[in-house]
Structure 1
Amino acid sequence: MVAAIATAAAIALAGCSSGGDFQDPGATNSSDDVVSQLASDLQPAYANLGQPVGATPYTGDWKPRGDAPWTIGYASPYDGNSWQAAAKARLFDDLLKTYQDAGLIKDVIITESGFDDSVQNQQIRQLVDQGADLIIACCSNTTSLNQSIEYAYKQGVPFVSYSGYVTSPYAINTSANYHQAGFASADAIFMKIGGEGTVLDVIGVAGAASSDSFDAGVAAAAANYPGIKLVGQVEGAWADTVTKTEVQKFLATNSEPIAGMIVQPGSATGALQALQESGRPIVPISIAGEAGALCYWIQNPDFVDVAFNVWPPGNEMQLGFEVAVRTLEGQGPKIQSIVREVSPITSEFALDKLGADCDVNSNAWIEPSVDDWFSTATLDKFFEDPSDPLAFKP
């Protein structure tokens, strides 16, 4: 049910550089050229992407400023929700141990900025000055970190944005196509309610790249349904507790019936709880990998017709981390944004993961396998000189 989406409008600078010897990326490849040079099976993910798709400066003779084992700086913008907990669990319980055993990663240093851009910029510079060989971050504004990303680049330190994107030509972005995710999620709900009715839009964090791109996809889908009215918008902060409170506030002050809700991943269970506690009828709500809402679907098969993998937390972290290690190893990422299409979640898959006796209030996540989300063979296609990152010999 993922709707077909028109060809992307490309944006970005392109070029190459070497180590800490700073050079502005040149215009050696246009954005369209870079996408067209990718394997044909990768190109559909770039439809309506709206984020940088030029060449990266981390190809050719580029080298990191230090040798393995490397230190990774994780400049996290926020903490305290189930998504971040799952992403950190994959990082510290799985990836870090695996790559330490291989002699490739020394440590991961994490900072938290509380969604304060000025603090996050300061923390990025501090991580670089403290010896981090690469910086990763997620979920940021498209431009707010660009000066710090350039600062890191001048020191030979790449920046990888996972589960979101930035517009700096010195960054590598890894994610699903969030515009497509918003379009597909909304389209599924609009079809479920027969193309008529009022729908509440629950965004993530206003100004964050992934949130804004998702919501642009929602608006694009709504344009195809003249009978749909987006009756309001609240900010759920990708957290069930915040979403529940904000939806309850909206319902308490707006008596108009709601036919459905479009929510960003991380908010479906909270939106469902808000409806249940308000006494309002339960209406279709878009679902990603939130276990509570998926459990409700298992127990109420007519709730929705399909859910979507948009930003599965562990897999998103693993993709960003592996792209980071491959970049440090000199594999040469071909394009600034490494993306994939969204994929559907069926009720059968949810049942297999959660079981029939699942908890409708769970804030856990279910995820596709790593191979189904972003296989090694697929990721290889985004690099000039791909190889198993764990096989690298310092």
Structure 2
Amino acid sequence: MRSTRSRGRLLLGISTAVALVLTACGGNGDDGTAAGTGEEAGEEAGDGGEAAAGPFTIGVSNGFTGSEWRTQMLDNIQEVFAEYEEQGLVDDLIIESDDVDEAGQIEQIRNLVNQGVDAIIINPNSPDALNAAFEEAAAEGVRIYAVDQAVTSEAVTNVVIDQAEWAKISARWLAEQLGEGAQIVGVNGIAGHPANEARWGGAQEVFEEAGIEVVAQGNANWSQAEGQTVMQELLGQHGDTIDGVWAQDGVAEGVLRALIDEDRLDLTTTGEARAGYLRLWDEAGIDTIGVVNPPGVGATALRFALLELQGEAIAEDNLENGNTLFLPLPDDVTSDELDEWLADVEGQPDGYSVDVILSEEEVRGYLQ
């Protein structure tokens, strides 16, 4: 299995947060030891609900395949599933993955329920359009975990990063670099997608407070090639007036290539924590920032699902709005430590995202 942490310091904030939760909750048992897995865990399960010993069948619904991030997310889920398969805790992983609209993802969910899954991990295409299918699945006793972006259904547990806060980090950095009165353009992901809207909303909030004017924005569908094209178009329209660019994860390398091609490295841009971008960042000699958006969130949700299927439960004080667990954001990639980050992604393909998968021990820190 791939290492679940790219660097020792990457999970420092996460480990600290989990330690605080463990302290507050008094550990996982009276003596602070962790409960077991499989039949032992089922027998010792606490207040989380009806315990079962497994083996469990897990379903995955992914409604967008045009990003290396999604491929890495699915690979991570498969690798952690294999870990539990060796323990005899799971027996089948059913993955529904295709480029579909909301109706197509509803069909994915129903297909998984019809195949008898015990839990579904879903990267949803909409915050609310899938709610009826979620209710149907929950009525059949299926546990559902949304990753990457939250949904509104109370039948779902969201295991996500705070996408708005994720965006605010790089937006604050850009605002500090440029100062009040600067003009920028934005290059975003898929218009209307919940993660995209949360990110852009968070970034806009920062820019409004900082007195930064957004003169235009374009959607590049989380594609590096489209990011390059959209940036070229924005330069043609606004290149004489802008001071910088706010670019999302998934398009930032394309944006930077456009700036290099047009000899516009005088513009300050935000970046991403992907291997290809880090290498191009180093070659261009620019100052930028990459905020980590770990594809490992799907595998982390798998750990939560299997523990809750065995009768454990997430502590209520770790949930926002009753059903959303915000995982702590890892360290940012900065120019000061770029060489170290480059060493961490050496040998990885350009599309590889700096990643984090919480260990089972770390996941237990969020439980009752």
SS at match of 1:224: helix
Gaps of 5+ in 1: 1-37, 43-58, 385-394
Residues 141 and 209 in structure 1, CA contact (< 8 A), matched pair in contact too:
yes
Quote how far apart the aligned CAs of 1:375 are. Answer: 5.5
Of 294, 302, 313, the residue aligned with 1:312 is 294
1:180 to partner: Cα distance: 1.1
- The change in CA–CA distance for 1:133 and 1:265 in structure 2 (over 3 A counts) is same
Match of 1:266 in 2: 250
1:196 Cα deviation (Å)?
Answer: 3.8
* Paired position in structure 1 for 2:151: 166
Please list, as runs of the form range in 1=range in 2, the aligned pairs for 1:1-394 lying within 5 A after superposition: 39=21, 60=47, 62-63=49-50, 68-92=54-78, 94-226=79-211, 228-304=212-288, 306-309=289-292, 311-313=293-295, 315-334=296-315, 335=319, 336-342=323-329, 343-347=331-335, 349-355=337-343, 362-367=350-355, 369-370=356-357, 374=358, 376-384=360-368
Aligned AA (1:63): E
Q: Deviations over 1:314-356 (max 9, x none)?
A: x222222212212212111233111134332233554224249
CA distance in 2, matches of 1:98, 1:358: 25
Identity %: 23
Is the 8 Å Cα contact of residues 159 and 324 (structure 2) preserved in structure 1?
Answer: yes
TM-score, normalising length: structure 1: 0.74
Q: CA deviation at 1:381?
A: 3.2
Contact 1:272 1:282 in 2 (8 A): no
Amino acid at match of 1:175: V
Instruction: Work out whether residues 178 and 210 of structure 1, in 8 Å CA contact, stay in contact via their aligned partners in 2.
Output: yes
Q: Are the structure 2 counterparts of residues 40 and 182 from structure 1 closer, same or farther at C-alpha, using a change threshold of 3 Å?
A: farther
Q: Give the superposition deviation at 1:139.
A: 4.4
Aligned-pair Cα RMSD in Å: 2.8
Query: Which residue matches 1:20?
Result: none
User: Which has the larger displacement, 160-169 or 257-266?
Assistant: 257-266
Q: Supply the distance in 2 between the matched residues of 1:190 and 1:95 (Cα, whole angstroms).
A: 39
| Alpha-carbon separation, structure 1, partners of 2:128 and 2:350 | 35
Which of 101-110 and 156-165 deviates more? 101-110
For residue 307 of structure 2, what is the amino acid of its counterpart?
R
* Greater helix share, structure number: 2
Give the superposition deviation at 1:247.
Answer: 2.1
Given that 1:63 and 1:156 are in contact with CA atoms closer than 8 Å, whether structure 2 keeps it comes out as no
Question: Relative to structure 1, is the Cα distance of residues 181 and 278 closer, same or farther in structure 2, using a 3 angstrom cutoff?
Answer: same
Aligned length: 321
Cα distance in structure 2, aligned partners of 1:125 and 1:242: 33
Shift of 1:178: 1.4
Q: CA deviation at 1:75?
A: 0.8
Deviations along 1:48-90, one digit per CA (max 9) or x if unpaired, are xxxxxxxxxxx946337x7512111111011132111211221
Q: Shift of residue 172 of structure 1? A: 0.6
User: Residue 219 of structure 1 aligns to which amino acid in structure 2?
Assistant: Q
Following superposition, the deviation at residue 260 of structure 1 comes to 1.5
Q: CA deviation at 1:116?
A: 0.5
SS at match of 1:223: helix
Q: Is the 8 A contact 2:121 2:298 kept in 1?
A: no
Find the residue that maps to 1:325 and give its secondary structure.
Answer: helix
Q: In 2, are the aligned partners of 1:69 and 1:104 still within 8 Å (CA)?
A: yes
- Further displaced range: 207-216 or 340-349: 340-349
Distance in 1, matches of 2:222 and 2:203, equals 16
What is the TM-score when the length of structure 2 is the normalising length? 0.78
